[in-house]
Amino acid sequence: MTVVRVALPVPLRQHFDYLIDPALPAQVGCRVRVPFGSRQLVGIIWQLAPADGFAVDKLKPVLALLDSRPVLPELLCRLLSFAADYYHHPLGEVLISALPALLREGRNLDDYQPKAYALTTQGQQLSADALKRSAKQHALWQALHKHPLSESVLLQQHRRPTLKQLLDKQLVAEHIVPATPFAAPPKPVTGLKLTSAQALAVSAVTQAFGRFERLLLEGVTGSGKTEVYLQSIASLLCQQQQVLVIVPEIGLTPQTLARFQARFDVPVLCWHSALSDSERLHCWLQASSGAAAIIVGTRSALFLPFWRLGLIIIDEEHDQSLKQQDGFRYHARDLAIKRAALQHCPILLGSATPSLESLHNALNKRFIHLPLPDRAAGQALPRFELVNLKQQVLQYGLASQTLATVKQQLALGHQVMLFLNRRGFAPALSCQECGWLTECQRCSAFTTYHKQSRQLVCHHCGASKAIPRQCGSCGSTQLKPLGQGTEQLEENLQQLFPDIAITRLDRDSTRRKGALHQALDEIHQHGARLIVGTQMLAKGHHFPNVSLVVIVDVDGALYSSDFRAPEQLAQLITQVAGRAGRGSSGGTVLLQTHYPEHALLQDIIQNGYAAFARSALHERAQTCLPPYQQLALFSAQAHQSQHCQQWLQQLAECARQFPALQLLGPIPAPMERRAGYYRWQLQLYCTSRGAMHQALTLLLAELASWPLSRKIKWQLDVDPTDLS
């Protein structure tokens, strides 16, 4: 017996040694099933015969070796090992989370590979009348006499039980058909005639093929970034290289996927959370065999085992959904860059509103900067107008100037989009007599009133309950909705514009399967129409008939304590505004606010995102905030607030040993209570990545032995994007 070191999906920062029969073809990256306490777990072999292995007589043997070939090829092992180190997350959990669910469960990979069937020698030698008594078996035997059949072809003519009978009689044998890589197109497909900025970008990307290079495509909304992606890919496909396109939320933008599928005559697959487990494994296998040429997917597509990856594209690289917000909190953009480095291939980041991190890298010349300053088909960028809400009588939250402009645009046959980042009917119900507000019992938050589903829902913990008849404080029955959400805005607009069709796009209206597609179809049918929605509207849609975008209310977001809030708000406003005027008619954006003099609003509307972002970076430099310092966030949650505070206090004391660290906290999290837990945080800042890394390693080793560490729930988030 020899020793193998195994990474297991347990929250422990260590490996586990087991014995294995040396005759088995064990390799690093293969799965094994092992005993662990009273359970059995699926783990990944991480080291063969480690030099510091335990005494052999103390170890248990593995129960089974599940793979004859690594499910995690060497390059992925290196990527994931880097990720576990960088994010200080237990390696076993990182490795296992990179596998599709069916592989995590220990399923046999061969069961999911395409199969073919052929007669065995015994089957070939069978006399023609041996199967006479079963017509079906005879027919299948005859068919296979001509040539072997793939599973799918065979099942078109014959039934599975018949096949099973012949397999049982050993007349037929099953073979795995190795999937073959996609066929390279003979020459690149041509697309639109590029603008000169697009052409420069495409040539920069194609010149980077075959080596590691980072490129930032900073293209205003409607500048034709997708066309740059498509034409960059075209020649790569001819070299039989695969492409990974990471998009924020694929479900929201089926258009993007459709454009890749329409352009190229190669297999384009998608990868996202709505796929079934077997669909995901299918996609994983197609990536690995090279049968898939292009994979368009959400952040975890980053861990697919590509056969020959030639380019990674991250569309909307600023998008927050690229960061995983629980468990293994990685940032897909940052890990994709690491992957490209390991893979020796270029990575192209695209956005109209690049993150300050990427912009910083571009301005520093670490990334090649590819600007697309104009819209592709020559349309002007939308024109902003601030609508001062102070001392105005509003009708349903809309100023008279806003309503007049909406009417005018509808009369011209255009579409109008109204953006309000609050779903539901109203953010709370309020008592008319005493001012009491409906609050979540478990969170420091109000509960949103949903009129259609007749419920009060907490948007933070998901708890829902029936609408109360009476005030929880004075017993009055005078409860009224307070404020406005998209559900109410839709209802009100319908009253104001009874003849105009309205489409609402938010998480509630698109929950039902197929509802989003239907809504997008409605919008794409031209003609006057109102579109109401939340930040779902900001996601890369191309609706050419929208001439006016109304930003109903951003005031709540103007004064936030989070240092990233201005960046995120500027991105949101610019992205929503960017839906206007993408067709032949020009675009206008009306931004309603009580704070028209606010510096952020003034900066965005007068100078645009690009200028805003550069001055915001300057501010970050002066205040020593990321990307000019590293940030790591420890957060603690417990039923008792003082447990969180004590634990973080202890951590802070420990952290003070490291003079390179600057501490902020312990402080209560902006959202002090969520789902019944009190929440506190400690922010660590450091100018040196190395020093931060060292400090975190030591802190984690220390806190492992504290009794309080087991009483509370705690997390470490390296490069956090959400400080709420």
Binding positions for Zn ion, rule: CB under 5 A: 431, 433-434, 436, 440, 442-443, 458, 460-461, 463, 471, 473-474, 476
The reply to whether 200 sits near ligand ADP by the rule CB under 6 A is: no
- The one among 219, 290, 346, 533 contacting ligand ADP by CB under 6 A: 219
How many residues sit in the footprint of ligand ADP (CB under 6 A)? 16
Query: Within a 10 A sphere around the Cβ of 15, how many other Cβ atoms?
Result: 17
CB of 315 to ligand ADP, least distance (A): 8
Indicate which of Zn ion, ligand ADP, none lies near residue 4 (CB less than 5 to 8 Å, by partner kind).
Answer: none
Query: Which residues from 167-196 bind ligand ADP, rule CB under 6 A?
Result: 192-195
CA–CA dist 578, 583 (Å, integer): 12
Of the pair 231, 509, the CB lying nearest ligand ADP is at: 231
For residues 163 and 140, what is the distance between their CA atoms, to the nearest angstrom?
8
Which one of ligand ADP, Zn ion, none is in contact with 198 (Cβ closer than 5 to 8 A by kind)? Answer: ligand ADP
- Residue 65 sits at φ, ψ, to 5 deg, of -95, 125
Number of other residues whose CB lies within 10 A of the CB of residue 296 = 25
Pick the closer one to Zn ion by CB: 307 or 446.
446
DSSP 3-state of 276 = coil
Query: Residue 194 binds what, of ligand ADP, Zn ion, none (CB under 5 to 8 Å, by partner type)?
Result: ligand ADP
Q: Where in 503-532 is the site for ligand ADP (CB under 6 A)?
A: none
CB of 448 to Zn ion, least distance (A): 10
610 binds ligand ADP (CB under 6 A): no
CB of 357 to ligand ADP, least distance (A): 20
Query: Is residue 212 left, alpha or beta, with left meaning phi > 0 and alpha meaning psi from -120 to 50?
Result: beta
DSSP-assigned letter for residue 510 = T
Whether residue 11 is preceded by a cis peptide bond, meaning omega within 30 degrees of 0, is no
**Is residue 225 part of the contact set for ligand ADP (CB under 6 A)?**
yes
Stretch that binds ligand ADP, among 219-227, 354-362, 517-525, 703-711 (CB under 6 A): 219-227
- Residue 42 contacts by C-beta under 8 Å, 6 or more apart in sequence? 9, 31, 32, 33, 66, 96, 104, 105, 106
Q: Is the dihedral of CA 164, 167, 169, 172 positive or negative?
A: positive
Q: Of the two residues 400 and 476, which places its CB atom closer to Zn ion in the complex?
A: 476
Least distance to Zn ion, CB of residue 443, Å: 3
CB of 228: closest distance to ligand ADP in angstroms? 8
312 by DSSP, 3-state: which? strand
DSSP three-state, residue 285: helix
- Stretch of 200-208, 216-224, 412-420, 656-664 lying at the interface with ligand ADP (CB under 6 A): 216-224
Residue of 435, 462, 436 whose CA lies nearest to 448: 462
Whole-number Å distance between alpha carbons of 581 and 587: 4
Q: Which of 457, 577 has the CB closer to ligand ADP?
A: 577
For tokens 């094994």, name the residue: 32
Q: Which does 183 bind (CB under 5 to 8 A by kind): Zn ion, ligand ADP, none?
A: none
- Identify the three-state secondary structure at position 271: strand
Q: How far is the CB of 372 from ligand ADP (least distance, A)?
A: 7
Tokens matching residue 483: 């404020």
Q: Cβ of residue 583: shortest distance to ligand ADP, in angstroms?
A: 9
* Contact status: 667 vs ligand ADP (CB under 6 A): no
Contact partner at residue 542 from ligand ADP, Zn ion, none, CB < 5 to 8 Å by partner kind = ligand ADP
User: CB of 366: closest distance to ligand ADP in angstroms?
Assistant: 23
For ligand ADP, what does the binding mask look like between residues 367 and 406, x meaning CB under 6 A?
---------xx-----------------------------
Alpha-carbon distance 596 to 607, whole Å? 15
Q: Which of the choices Zn ion, ligand ADP, none does residue 292 contact, using the CB cut-off of 5 to 8 A by kind?
A: none
What is the rounded CA–CA span in Å between residue 439 and residue 463?
A: 11
Q: What is the dihedral of CA 62, 68, 74, 75, to 10 degrees?
A: -120
Q: Where are the beta strands (DSSP E) in 38-105?
A: 39-48, 64-65
- 45, two tokens: 């072999």
Whole-number Å distance between alpha carbons of 708 and 692 = 24
Q: Can you tell me which of 198, 535, 635, 637 binds ligand ADP, judged by CB under 6 A?
A: 198
Q: Does 224 bind ligand ADP (CB under 6 A)?
A: yes
Task: Please tell me the distance from the alpha carbon of residue 423 to that of residue 219, in angstroms, as a whole number.
Answer: 30
Determine, following the binding rule CB under 6 A, whether residue 199 of this chain makes contact with ligand ADP: no
Neighbours of 441 (CB within 10 A): 11
Q: Is 218 in the site for ligand ADP (CB under 6 A)?
A: no
Contact between 351 and ligand ADP by CB under 6 A: the answer reads no
User: Which residue type, as a one-letter code, is found at position 638?
Assistant: A
Query: Which of the choices Zn ion, ligand ADP, none does residue 458 contact, using the CB cut-off of 5 to 8 A by kind?
Result: Zn ion
CB proximity list for 144: less than 8 A, separation 6 or greater: 117, 118, 119, 123, 172
Work out what residue 431 binds among ligand ADP, Zn ion, none; the CB cut-off runs from 5 to 8 Å by kind.
Answer: Zn ion
Choose between 4 and 243: whose C-beta lies nearer to ligand ADP: 243
Q: Is 221 in the site for ligand ADP (CB under 6 A)?
A: yes
List the one residue from 223, 361, 484, 534 that touches ligand ADP (CB under 6 A).
223
How distant, in Å, are the alpha carbons of 270, 331, 450 from that of 299?
12, 8, 31
DSSP assignment of 632-683 equals EEEEEEESSHHHHHHHHHHHHHHHTT-TT-EEEEEEEEEEEEETTEEEEEEE
Segment near ligand ADP (CB under 6 A); pick from 215-223, 306-314, 505-513, 615-623: 215-223
Question: Which does residue 434 bind out of ligand ADP, Zn ion, none, counting CB within 5 to 8 angstroms by kind?
Answer: Zn ion
Angle at CA of residue 647, ends 644 and 652, nearest 5°? 120
Task: Kindly write out the interface string for residues 529-548 of this chain, putting x where it contacts ligand ADP by CB under 6 A and - elsewhere.
Answer: -------------x------
Read off the DSSP letter of residue 721: S
Which of ligand ADP, Zn ion, none sits in contact with 660, Cβ below 5 to 8 A by type? Answer: none
Residue 248 beta carbon to ligand ADP: minimum distance, rounded to whole angstroms: 13
Pick one of 70, 90, 222, 354: the residue that binds ligand ADP (CB under 6 A). Answer: 222
Give strand pairing partners of 683: 633, 664
487 binds, among Zn ion, ligand ADP, none (CB under 5 to 8 A by kind): none
Which residues are CB-contacts of 492 (< 8 A; sequence separation ≥ 6)?
Answer: 396, 397, 484
CB-nearer residue toward ligand ADP: 333 or 375: 375
Residue with smaller CB distance to ligand ADP, 323 or 375:
375
214/225 with CB nearer ligand ADP: 225
Is 12 a binding residue for ligand ADP by CB under 6 A? The answer is: no
Phi and psi (nearest 5°) for 550? -110, 120
Write out the residues near ligand ADP by the rule CB under 6 A: 192-195, 198, 219, 221-227, 376-377, 542
